[in-house]
Structure 1
Amino acid sequence: MTPSPSPFFVSTDWLAANLGAPDLVVVDGTFFMPDENRNAEAEYRAGHIPGAVFFDIDAIADHTVDLPHMLPSPEAFASAMRALGIAETMRLVVYDASGLLGAPRVWWTLRLFGAKDVKILTGGLPKWKAEGRALESGVVGRPPQSFSVQFDAAAVAPAAAVLAASQTGAAQIVDARAAPRFRGETPEPRPGLRSGHIPGSLNVPWREVVDKGEMKAPADVTAAFTQAGVDLAHPIITTCGSGVTAAILLLALETTGKNGIVLYDGSWTEWGGCADLPIAQG
């Protein structure tokens, strides 16, 4: 069995050739923005890549906080993976129904908790469908597996660390939201949040690094960050609205060879909803 050549992605050809391998699990990581009015789980049930399990980031989350899809505890994550039939030693391929939106968040989460081999399907479900490949409906059930968690806490930034970076410049804060939201010119899609950005942060809208549901070439990704004033030689914290598209920027940076990127899980949903945290506009 020929291994995938990319450290981040597999092609639809590769996945089609490897479907059914006993150590391979396909993961549907579909997530839709609040204003899309689409139901990720319902769309998974209606049609998914054969054998794929559904990773629901709103269900596999910390339900003790009033923030959407925050990381669960290691114990809760291990329990969820057992139910999905995923062990940390398996080869995992994540995709989503948008091409490249929810999959990077699931890819990041799986790696964060200790999965050894996680890749993303290039082009996601839209490419798979466009090629006329098989789909199946319903819910996939797999035998329970034991997932041995090794949680990388250093890869997640709490609000206090982001505030310190904002004040000291020890790390660059890069925001994945669209420019009008970053500048505070348009209201946030989630009610009750202030408009603007973390003081001192830089803006690389996630669509600047994605083209037709696929990650742009490393040179184009590098250009997008450098044009926004990001120094790739210095530490970076990625942020966004609720920690999803921040993972797209993190993945994009890793494709350029940048390592050690930290993600602010609470992102603007936490920051913009906390009156004690400073904001900037413009």
Structure 2
Amino acid sequence: MDVLVTTEWLANELSANDLRIVDASYFLSEHGRDAAAEYEAEHIPGAVFMDLAEIADLSNPLPAMLPAPEKFASRMQSLGLGDGSRIVLYDNSPLHTSARAWWMLRTFGAHDVAILDGGMAKWKAEGRATATGKESLRHRHFTVWADDKGVRTLDQMKANLDSGAEQVVDARSPARFTGEEPDPRPATHAGHIPGSKNLHYSTLFNDDGTWKSKDALKAAFEGAGIDLNQPIVATCGSGITAGVLVFAARLLGNNAALYDGAWSEWGADRTTPKAMGPA
């Protein structure tokens, strides 16, 4: 299974015993939408709902931080996702949140994980079948495991300021990156991590929500000043849309890491340097 699959491929695989489909839609409060309610109203047949708002470290004041491996494994088991499952993720979010779910699953040991190109919007536009309510799947064993090589912490990001070992690319809008637009979180500085580059996540998609071609993705990274042959760390506001950059880099053969605390941590920390203006 490729890491990016088409709606046609998924339609042909719907009845496969090892296939698990997951709606990983997630919204911010300003979107005024309820991901769980939208899932129950309409989803791809057989899909379960992965609640990214709840599958997080809720004891951490930072938003959307990775949960403990035990919690993640427990939630996956309850969704019927387990060892040996082929997992296809989709979303219906402007944030393209299936990319964050893909990164989480990979971090916690799932190997056969893909994203549905175009998500729910493309599936519906093609007139394909949908289902309502909740799906009930038998619990499956999900081995508790975490591989942190793709995760970056605040201390590691501080150390990278001096070493420059990894290129830092920021998925936020240009106005947020430059500091022209203030951060929406209270007591959080505007601007960006010094030395980082800006590549707004939304520019990596076509108008219909499908991913741009590999050539176009490569051009976008290079246009932002990123060398795809060198290590990359993606960041954003809260670690959600950075997943889009990580997934795009993976499509291009680069195993980028993700700074989970993102700007909500860096921007609020009084000990970190902040840069303003363009990269």
Cα deviation, residue 42, structure 1: 1.3
Deviations along 1:84-135, one digit per CA (max 9) or x if unpaired, are 1110310100000137711111111111111121111110000011111111
1:276 aligns with 2:271: yes
Aligned to 2:216: 220
**Within 2, Cα distance between the matches of 1:31 and 1:192?**
25
**Within 2, Cα distance between the matches of 1:191 and 1:50?**
41
1:231 aligns with 2:231: no
Structure 1: runs of 5+ lacking an equivalent: none
Aligned to 2:145: 150
- SS state at 2:102 partner: helix
Q: Is the 8 A contact 2:80 2:137 kept in 1?
A: yes
- SS state at 1:129 partner: helix
Q: Is the 8 A contact 2:41 2:133 kept in 1?
A: yes
**Within 1, Cα distance between the matches of 2:75 and 2:136?**
13
The match for 1:61 among 56, 79, 84 is: 56
Structure 2: runs of 5+ lacking an equivalent: none
- Residues 189-228 of structure 1 aligned to structure 2 (within 5 Å): 189-212=184-207, 213-228=209-224
The match for 1:36 among 16, 31, 41 is: 31
Aligned to 1:119: 114
Instruction: Compare 115-124 and 204-213 and name the one that shifted more.
Output: 204-213
1:137 aligns with 2:132: yes
Deviations along 1:174-204, one digit per CA (max 9) or x if unpaired, are 0000100000011223333211101111111
Distance 1:20 1:100, change over 3 A: farther
Cα deviation, residue 243, structure 1: 0.8
- SS state at 1:16 partner: helix
Cα deviation, residue 49, structure 1: 0.7
- SS state at 1:27 partner: strand
Aligned to 1:45: 40
The match for 1:11 among 6, 14, 17 is: 6
User: Given the two structures, how large is their TM-score scaled by the length of structure 2?
Assistant: 0.95
The match for 1:175 among 145, 170, 186 is: 170
**Residue identity opposite 1:246 in structure 2:** A
Which aligned runs of 4 or more in structure 1 are off by greater than 6 angstroms? none
Q: Is the 8 A contact 1:91 1:117 kept in 2?
A: yes
Q: Is the 8 A contact 1:166 1:173 kept in 2?
A: no
- Residues 89-128 of structure 1 aligned to structure 2 (within 5 Å): 89-98=84-93, 101-128=96-123
**Within 2, Cα distance between the matches of 1:242 and 1:103?**
15
Q: Is the 8 A contact 2:239 2:258 kept in 1?
A: yes
Provide the aligned length of Structure 1 versus Structure 2. 276
**Within 1, Cα distance between the matches of 2:40 and 2:4?**
24
Q: Is the 8 A contact 1:99 1:127 kept in 2?
A: no
- SS state at 1:162 partner: helix
Deviations along 1:15-56, one digit per CA (max 9) or x if unpaired, are 112113211110000012342121111111111111111111
**Within 1, Cα distance between the matches of 2:121 and 2:100?**
18
The match for 2:160 among 165, 170, 179 is: 165
Aligned to 1:253: 249
Distance 1:79 1:235, change over 3 A: same
**Within 2, Cα distance between the matches of 1:164 and 1:271?**
13
- SS state at 2:128 partner: coil
Deviations along 1:139-160, one digit per CA (max 9) or x if unpaired, are 2121111101331111100011
- SS state at 1:109 partner: helix
**Residue identity opposite 1:216 in structure 2:** K
**Within 2, Cα distance between the matches of 1:33 and 1:209?**
20
**Within 2, Cα distance between the matches of 1:27 and 1:274?**
35
**Within 1, Cα distance between the matches of 2:83 and 2:235?**
26
